Amino acid sequence: MGSIVTGVAGFIGSHLAEALLDRGERVIGIDHFNSYYDPMLKYRNIANFIHHPLFELIEGDIQRVNWSTLLHGIEVIYHQAAQAGVRASWGEGFRTYTDRNINATQVILEAARDAQDLQRIVFASTSSVYGNAETLPTYETLPPEPVSPYGITKLAAERLCWLYHHNFGVPVTALRYFTVYGPRQRPDMAFHKFFKAVLQNQPIPIYGDGQQTRDFTYVTDAVAANLAAATTATAVGEVFNIGGGSRVGLMEILETMEAIVGQPIQRQYGDRALGDARHTAADVTKAKTLLAYNPQVSLPDGLTEQWRWIQALYAMQPNKFLQREVSIASGWH
């Protein structure tokens, strides 16, 4: 028996696969290694375990692999793969989001209908489905109101999960992540960009007035939520908020970062970004009750670990990564 992790070379997927392997489980990892950001960063993410005897890597599009063969002996699918990023989801890029977030999820769900060994699909959703929620902290039964095309596609994929669960008994659980951060974070995400700017002695971009707030989740806490969702019987058919336990403003975050890096951080203000929610905060009562979810890593500790990783990453490949400008910026998400 074993598990499949889609998006295995990505930020959360690579941490999740590593945790499963550390537990002695067999893992099949699937990743397309597309060019949304440098594929070399993705290969670096899996370097620690790519040769692990219990790990098998499949490089390819989710919609093109032979799922009927892959699912033999598979008990859990951790569906982490997605086209991420709020700001890039506008315009012509939306087609990529519908294909990789909606169509790819439907292919997995369809294959799961006939999978004899499958016990759970854990679907990675997002707090972006809530948009500018009227209630903070936000709980799962509030009506979703996405404010970005990205959020629309993730909500549509969620709805597909429930359709397949109710009509065919596919055992799905969905986790709505609230701004996950930590080592291996994508280069288009805020903390990665901020720390990279410090190394370059450049100002960090701030969209709008800087008063926005977020609920931040350290990556190992997100992994723990996945592992619990895969094995808790009462999680089937349920959606859970996965947050870090506190809502923090951007200015407070920058002060924390300045203390970590030991120098002032330059700011460069710009217009508010379309599709970015003003505030997010997760009510994690349900996850605590049913999954025994209890976030362990504080924001200062998590940022310290990410800063160490950023320093090591760009020290190793200064010319390849440090001078490359990120062309797609999705900010907090």
* CA–CA distance, 146 with 159 (Å, rounded to integer): 14
Contact indicator for 275, 148 with CB cutoff of 8 Å: yes
Exposed e or buried b for every residue in 57-70, given b needs 16+ CB within 10 A? bbeeebeebebeeb
Marked catalytic residue, from 37, 150, 181, 293: 150
* CA–CA distance, 65 with 185 (Å, rounded to integer): 26
* CA–CA distance, 106 with 63 (Å, rounded to integer): 9
97 assigned to active site: no
> Helix %, strand %, coil % for the chain, to 5?
40, 20, 40
How many CB atoms are located within 10 Å of the residue 114 CB? 11
Counting runs of H as helices and runs of E as strands, what totals does the chain give?
11, 13
DSSP per-residue letters across 251-308: HHHHHHHHHHHTS---EEEEPPPTT--SB--B--HHHHHHH-------HHHHHHHHHH
DSSP state, residue 144: P
**Max Cα–Cα distance, the chain, nearest Å:** 57
Q: Which residues are catalytic?
A: 150
